[in-house]
Amino acid sequence: MKRLMICWIVLLMSGPALAANDGASSSRDAISCVLSDPAATAETQALYRNLHKLAQEGVLFGHQDTLAYGVGWKADPNKLDSDVYRVCGKFPAVFGWDIGHIGTPRNIDGVPFESMKGWIRKGYEKGGISTVSWHAQIPGTTQSAWTQQKVVSRLLPGGDMHETYRATLDQVAAFFADLKGPRGEPIPVIFRPFHEHTGGWFWWGNKWCTPEEYKQLWHFTIDYLRKTKGLHNIITAYSPDRFKSREEYLERYPGDDTIDILGHDNYGAFRSAQTKDEARQALETIVALAEEHSKIAALTETGVGQNSANATWWTDVLLDVIKSSPATKKIAWVLVWRNADKRQNYAAFPESATAENFKAFERDPITVFLEDLPPMYK
């Protein structure tokens, strides 16, 4: 509750009247954000604008698959649950989902797509935000996202797998089109395909296609979803893995007319206090670039294993990096990866070594959970 009020005060104070008259804050408040889709629905535009406003003061917390399962449990369809809620009594503000294995009944991690759609609708009705990544199989095959093969050029217009790729995108489009709110309005989602392309581990990674081919993959994909399929509820996120310079970050950037969120996936530099400088610099770079491009920056994936972790990782590493400079505080959200089981878990859970410290992370005035959000879709 306390944070909800803080957010509202900030929103009121950063209104246009103040921006026009106040010298010091006008340059900051005047920074705008421009969606790549000029035909985005009213709710999608509102979400983007509100994310941008909130990013000036708060950082939303996100968790992958949080409503579907946690360490030692699977969701009961009749009640909302989450390891995050079990630890701190609040839900994440950002719900991460993955559409790997689209076209089959269950996603790459066993989450039924029908249930996933249900949770996205529930999350929206509660005022939360959903982001959808895509550990895509090679279209038309059951070969995993980690297949290291030159296939991108074959998916593009003129390529021998182009028709197959269109058929896969039809399934993606059907998934997004099925996300409707109570008034029948399309639910906005943040779509984050082709992530971590600055490494070579996925078939869309930098070893397996040229910068031009990677950009064309994005252009074709987003144009197809928007222009051919008529979807205007998609906010796009670009998420390079670790990078050394602005140039490297932007090398394969598809452009402002395709991308809305300048994201970043980084586990390595957030692992411990020793690498905090790299982590801080990475966030400063994406925030600066987001401002230059009139976009929004976000730490789209990070985390450490919760049982082996430094027990104060949440405040001493993650929060400390986020609060390390005026720029780093301006990332819109941080999302930690899934709580698969006792071996793979990135959010605190009741028995984890970091549970107490996670509560302190939640209590910090900068972090924003579902219950702290102002209305995001108006």
Residue type, 12: L
> Minimum CB separation from ligand BMA for residue 133, in Å?
7
Stretch that binds ligand BMA, among 49-57, 172-180, 275-283, 334-342 (CB under 6 A): 334-342
- Residue 75 near residue 67, CB atoms below 8 Å: yes
The reply to whether 351 belongs to the active site is: no
57, 284, 291, 301: the catalytic one is: 301
Stretch that binds ligand BMA, among 48-56, 244-252, 254-262, 333-341 (CB under 6 A): 333-341
- Pick one of 84, 88, 102, 108: the residue that binds ligand BMA (CB under 6 A): 108
- Give the count of alpha carbons within 13 A of 209, CB side only: 24
> Minimum CB separation from ligand BMA for residue 9, in Å?
38
Residues 348, 352, 358, CA angle at the centre, nearest 5°? 40
Tokens of 139: 């279209």
Stretch that binds ligand BMA, among 40-48, 185-193, 207-215, 332-340 (CB under 6 A): 332-340
Stretch that binds ligand BMA, among 8-16, 213-221, 250-258, 336-344 (CB under 6 A): 336-344
User: How far apart are the C-alpha atoms of 200 and 179, rounded to whole Å?
Assistant: 33
57, 196, 291, 362: the catalytic one is: 196
Cross-strand pairs, 299: 264, 334
The reply to whether 301 belongs to the active site is: yes
Question: CB nearest ligand BMA: which residue?
Answer: 135
User: x/- contact string, 343-362, with ligand BMA (CB under 6 A)?
Assistant: -x------------------
Cross-strand pairs, 95: 63, 130
Residues 6+ apart with CB under 8 A from 16: none
Our CB check for ligand BMA shows the closer of 83 and 284 to be 83
- Residue 123 near residue 95, CB atoms below 8 Å: yes
- Residue 249 near residue 285, CB atoms below 8 Å: yes
Interacting residues with ligand BMA between 129 and 168 (CB under 6 A): 135
Our CB check for ligand BMA shows the closer of 346 and 377 to be 346
In the chain the first and final C-alpha atoms are separated, in Å, by 19
Our CB check for ligand BMA shows the closer of 100 and 112 to be 100
Our CB check for ligand BMA shows the closer of 154 and 342 to be 342
Our CB check for ligand BMA shows the closer of 35 and 145 to be 145
Our CB check for ligand BMA shows the closer of 108 and 129 to be 108
Interacting residues with ligand BMA between 190 and 219 (CB under 6 A): none
Q: Is 248 in the site for ligand BMA (CB under 6 A)?
A: no
Q: Is 109 in the site for ligand BMA (CB under 6 A)?
A: yes
- Pick one of 98, 213, 260, 265: the residue that binds ligand BMA (CB under 6 A): 98
User: How far apart are the C-alpha atoms of 172 and 225, rounded to whole Å?
Assistant: 8
Phi, psi for residue 293 in degrees, rounded to 5:
-95, 5
Q: Is 94 in the site for ligand BMA (CB under 6 A)?
A: no
- Pick one of 124, 319, 338, 370: the residue that binds ligand BMA (CB under 6 A): 338
DSSP-assigned states of every residue in 129-185: EEEEE--PPPTTS---TT-----HHHHSTTSTTHHHHHHHHHHHHHHHHT-B-TTSP
> Minimum CB separation from ligand BMA for residue 333, in Å?
18
Q: How many CB atoms lie within 10 A of CB 2?
A: 9
How many residues bind ligand BMA (CB under 6 A)? The answer is 9
Our CB check for ligand BMA shows the closer of 109 and 278 to be 109
Our CB check for ligand BMA shows the closer of 137 and 281 to be 137
**H helical segments located in the chain:** 2-13, 16-21, 23-30, 42-55, 83-88, 113-125, 152-155, 162-177, 211-223, 246-250, 276-292, 313, 320-322, 355-363
- Residue 70 parent element (H or E): strand 69-70
Q: Annotated active-site positions, please?
A: 196, 301
**Residues within the interface to ligand BMA (CB under 6 A):** 98, 100, 108-109, 135, 337-338, 340, 344
